[in-house]
Amino acid sequence: MSEAELNIDGHELTNCLATGNVSQIWEATDSATGQTVAMKLLLPEALSEPEHKKMFKHEVNVVKQLEHPNIIRYIDSKLTKKQHYYTMELFRSSNLKSLIRADLNAVHVRMRKLMECCSQAFSYMHEKGWIHKDIKPDNILMTKGSEIRVIDFSLASKGSSSVGHMMTRKNSIVIQGTRTYIAPELIRREKLTPAADIYSLGILFYEALTGRVPFMGGTPNELLMMHVRDMPDVPSSYHPNVHPEADALVMKMLSKRVKERHESMQEVFAEARSVKLFRQDPEEYNKAAMAKAAEEKDKTVDQRLDSRADHGRTSSGAPAPQKPAPPKPKPATAPPQPTASQPAAATPAPQQQPPAPQPMMPQQPVQYPPMQQPMMPQQPGAHYPMQPGMMPPGQYPPGMPGQYPQMPAQPGVQPPGQPVAPPQQVPSQPPATPPTNAPQQPAEPQAPPKKEDADKPDGIDWINIS
């Protein structure tokens, strides 16, 4: 805006406080008196719309008639072809919607004051014959000192009679109000009564207690049907510190049928002053909740794994490993002392380590002395001729019958007639290579066997074939 536009009838606009679809609210200073006020100004593009001008004029007419400590105070107005504005007291505070989002606990601390001031302000409006029709947290200003102001009276209307309701129902096309806070009877286009404000105020209390609205639909029409058809959960289901008496108060205000709600705002005010709103003081509850959250955070940090390993485990679908429990210490027990009647137990000998495996030595072939008999012809079925010093199959020298009982068992050699045992794996050892310079020791001479034994081995009769 230009400098000329920032000065309207001696009011210098210094700060834009809020902007809507058809209007703006500015902080302005009166040049004559130096008083700082708030100015609601109709935007230039809205001046060309007769409907917007009519609504703005209606709002000025309503706010002029309302003088209450909890309603914004009207100062002055000017409605011309070039300018539509009115001034009111400058109330420096945030609206309730912003406070709920920023610090719900601070709202809980001032909850009773909020209920009392709002119910008194709307009770005063109803006594004057006006129904607000647009009660929502955006239109409630609240300071840290619990001062309350109600604003925005553009949709305020007089209560409808039976005849007037029939006329307006035929001509009405648009449902006025904010869908999240609108009463079911206004959706059904029924008669307008102060009970519509009680329903909207009940949703405001619900949101201030829980931090969320009772109905959240995917589409505007679905949201309207939820107001007409569904009953919300009690506030304590979303905030455990809410007292059952506060649940009962809010749920009565949200009844679908007008006759089941409070009869007036004055009755709401009286009940809000006496009911218990919270199970525990909001400040103490908040401190305990913060301490519990900090403790759980510490536990989570202690149990948190490396981020990369955790990501890899999650992507592979493997379960998170359990933290191993520390081993329990065994109780120290003294050894039993021997008594006089019981001898002391012998001290167990220390366990001996098994001997290290010895390297396998190459087996020396068994040499037998030459037989003292003439060479025998080849036996039937033999494939090779008998050589001097060899014995026929199945024959053993004298003194060594059968299974070699006097010879020690060699590793890897299975005696005849015994079942074959599975081979045992022995660590491979390089064969022992005798030194090249060591002299070869001749084998010890063995005594020749007796001729009678050699001529007739055990169990076999040899037949000489000439």
Most confident stretch, 32-41, 108-117, 392-401, 403-412? 108-117
Residues of the chain with CATH 3.30.200.20: 1-92
Res. 1 pLDDT band, cuts 50 70 90? low
Is pLDDT at 236 greater than 90 in this prediction?
yes
Q: How far is Cα 145 from Cα 93, in angstroms, rounded to an integer?
A: 10
pLDDT at position 464: 44
Beta bridge partner(s), residue 71: 150
Q: How far is Cα 344 from Cα 338, in angstroms, rounded to an integer?
A: 5
Please tell me the CATH superfamily of domain 1-92, with its number: Phosphorylase Kinase; domain 1 (3.30.200.20)
Q: How far is Cα 422 from Cα 431, in angstroms, rounded to an integer?
A: 23
Res. 175 pLDDT band, cuts 50 70 90? confident
**Token pair in block for residue 294:** 């900090």
Res. 333 pLDDT band, cuts 50 70 90? low
- Give every CB contact of residue 457 below 8 A, 6+ residues apart in sequence: 395, 398
Give the distance from CA 131 to its chain's centroid. Answer: 45
Give the distance from CA 40 to its chain's centroid. Answer: 47
Run of H or E including 118: helix 111-127
Q: What pTM does this model have?
A: 0.64
| 3-state SS, residue 285 | helix
Q: How far is Cα 13 from Cα 7, in angstroms, rounded to an integer?
A: 6
**Token pair in block for residue 329:** 């210490």
Give the distance from CA 316 to its chain's centroid. Answer: 19
pLDDT at position 6: 85
Q: How far is Cα 391 from Cα 451, in angstroms, rounded to an integer?
A: 15
Which backbone phi and psi does 299 adopt, to 5 degrees?
-65, -40
Specify whether domain 93-292 bears CATH 3.30.420.10. Answer: no
Mean pLDDT, the chain, integer: 78
- Give every CB contact of residue 118 below 8 A, 6+ residues apart in sequence: 70, 135, 140, 148, 150, 201, 204
**Alpha-carbon separation of residue 63 from 56, 68, 151, 192, 352 (angstroms):** 11, 10, 9, 20, 106
Residues of the chain with CATH 1.10.510.10: 93-292
Task: Give the type of residue at 51.
Answer: E
Which backbone phi and psi does 277 adopt, to 5 degrees?
-90, -35
How close are the terminal C-alpha atoms of the chain, in Å?
147
Q: Which of 40, 42, 13, 48 is nearest to 29 (CA)?
A: 13
pLDDT at position 295: 83
Q: How far is Cα 135 from Cα 203, in angstroms, rounded to an integer?
A: 9
Is pLDDT at 44 greater than 80 in this prediction?
yes
Least confident window among 170-174, 292-296, 396-400, 462-466: 462-466
DSSP state of 164: H
Is pLDDT at 77 greater than 80 in this prediction?
yes
Q: How far is Cα 390 from Cα 360, in angstroms, rounded to an integer?
A: 27
Helix axes 195-210, 265-274, angle to 10 degrees: 30
Mean pLDDT of 210-219: 93
